[in-house]
Structure 1
Amino acid sequence: MIYLKLIACTLIWGGTFIAGHIVSNALPPLTAASIRFSIAAALLLVLAWRREGGLPRLSLQQMGATAALGLTGIFLYNFCFFSALGKMEASRSALFIAMNPIVTALAAAAVLRERLNWRKWAGIGIAFAGAAVLITRGEPMAALHDISQSIGVGELMMLGAASCWAAYTLVGRAALKGLSPIAATTYASLWGLGFLLVSASRELPGVAWASLGWQVWASVTYLGAFGTVVAFVWWYEGVKALGPARTAVFNNLVPVFGVSLAALMLGEQVMASMIAGGLLVATGVTITNR
């Protein structure tokens, strides 16, 4: 049952790129993220009350750590996520985000002075080779002459999202000391929602709410309820049952589901460079996290 839940979890996360693509073409990025986390924060509060009897009081250090989680993993990540999906295909976005573990490993080496052995460096090199194939659509040499043909605003935003998630992961190591995953995530979501609502205040009056179709509302509800809360619960059940290392392997299914769903539901073309680049990235991530 736990394996089925983890596979379903990665399927849900793969679906967030399709839902995010639909929402980002109808709503400004900060407004979209605000609605997503209004739903997620409300459900997380109910979850915290049902499973843990409520939220614990925070020390000053925990308050600062959870605020940093909200800033990096909720506010900045989702701003980059929705901005990127408004500029590029959902399938390419899903493959980009597969670089998260590699960016996190490099950030841990730079900031926390964690040592990387030769095997991890080899995995990082393979993953970056795959990213180069993916970003340049299979023509890395042509990109050297005109990089603007390969890297646009969408690609830069998705790389920014990966960097924000790396920061969120590293801060999370400190924030989780003395806090359960549910408590830390709920507080981070509340902080992030606050940052989002303040930043989205200029966007909200210009949104044509009456013209939003059911697909947009269904997509943003999916992102908040399933992509944030349900997947979170199932993922941590996997971590508890199998350990973080064995659970992390399932992450490689996210871009597979993302590309497949984008082709089936949005009619996006699956290019040979995407398959080759995605396989190289998945190979590099597996070697690095082994």
Structure 2
Amino acid sequence: MRDTATTGRLLALAAAAALGGTTPFARLAYDAGTTPKTLLAVRFIVAILVFGVALRLLGRPLWPTRSDVPAFIAAGLALSGLTIGYLLSIAYIPVGLAALLLYTFPLLVAAATPFIDGVRLTGAQWLAFLLAFVGLAGALGPDLGALDPRGVALALMAACSMATLLFLVRHLTRRHDPLTVLFNGNLMGLLFMSLLLVTEGPVISDTTFGLSMLTVAALLYLAGIGLSFLAVKAGGPAETAMFLNLEPVMAILLAMLLLGERLTALQATGVFLVVLAIYLAGRKQRAL
């Protein structure tokens, strides 16, 4: 069990690093001419192709059993709500505020875990979740003066979708191959994104640099979402949610390297608090 927990944490850390890397590379792709909706559609397409081919090569089923179709649909809706809600929220509120609201999902997971998984979090773990949220507030530096209700609602929808997705992934990966869950979830995400692209056609950069940044952002998403699903299967939703707090921290650090952004004292303090929170989260959970 200790080996499984360690594996889950390492997978979650790798997932956070990969997903955090998508933000600066996505920004570079946007600056080169690719629209956000196009990037999301490309990410879904790449994921569907890769996971579909992997399932065929491994001789595993593409589709869920009939009894699990509702859960698969719910997981697809949650994945769509996460990506689309977060994407649209930044049209109304600053990115930092949107990211902060999105990362309320570890607190939602912590609150729901005793009722869904029958696991009671220790006082140290509750402190870790709250500390991580405070740290993210400092690291992201949200502009609280720009509170457009539409953006706040969309970001919170993304947070609820992420929390729901983690529990659904835990349930589905007990009965199905994680690749099957990933394939179907991204397929449904592409269907929703296609509806959004009806009113705004896809726009892709025509430069080599822009295409390269789009490719890197898509591949990092592919690695990040795959690793996060495996982390949930190995370590559980609460553990994975805690370690995924490192995603925006990784984004900030990479933005310093790739985009020339500077880390303020407040952001540095926030990063420290997140790392401290993850250390505290390593405490044992005790079963009810």
Report the TM-score range of the alignment, normalised by the length of the smaller protein.
Answer: 0.7 to 0.9
Conserved 8 A contact 2:40-2:193: yes
The letter for the 2-side match of 1:267 is: G
- Give a deviation string over 1:181-215, Cα, whole Å, max 9, x none: 111111111122122212321111xx555x64333
1:112 & 1:70 partners in 2: Cα distance? 21
1:109 & 1:5 partners in 2: Cα distance? 23
Deviation at 1:285, TM superposition (A): 4.1
1:4 & 1:285 partners in 2: Cα distance? 12
Who is 1:140 aligned against? none
Distance 1:23 1:108, change over 3 A: farther
Residue 218 of structure 1 pairs with residue 208 of structure 2: no
Deviation at 1:79, TM superposition (A): 1.8
Unaligned ranges ≥5, structure 2: 1-6, 284-288
| TM-score, with length taken from structure 2 | 0.73
Which one of the candidate residues 42, 47, 58 is aligned to 1:40?
47
Who is 2:159 aligned against? 162
The letter for the 2-side match of 1:15 is: G
Conserved 8 A contact 1:176-1:184: yes
Distance 1:132 1:227, change over 3 A: closer
1:154 & 1:252 partners in 2: Cα distance? 21
Deviation at 1:158, TM superposition (A): 5.0
What is the identity percentage for the equivalent residue pairs of Structure 1 and Structure 2?
22
SS at match of 2:133: helix
Who is 2:180 aligned against? 183
| TM-score, with length taken from structure 1 | 0.73
Conserved 8 A contact 2:17-2:224: no
Who is 1:263 aligned against? 256
Deviation at 1:168, TM superposition (A): 0.8
SS at match of 2:44: helix
The letter for the 1-side match of 2:221 is: G
- The alignment yields a C-alpha RMSD, in angstroms, of 3.9
Q: Which has the higher helix share?
A: 1
The alignment of Structure 1 onto Structure 2 pairs a total of residues equal to: 272
Who is 1:104 aligned against? 109
Deviation at 1:82, TM superposition (A): 3.4
Conserved 8 A contact 1:19-1:222: yes
2:117 & 2:12 partners in 1: Cα distance? 29
- Give a deviation string over 1:236-269, Cα, whole Å, max 9, x none: 77788xx527x95864654443222101111122
Distance 1:161 1:220, change over 3 A: farther
Unaligned ranges ≥5, structure 1: 138-142
2:149 & 2:225 partners in 1: Cα distance? 31
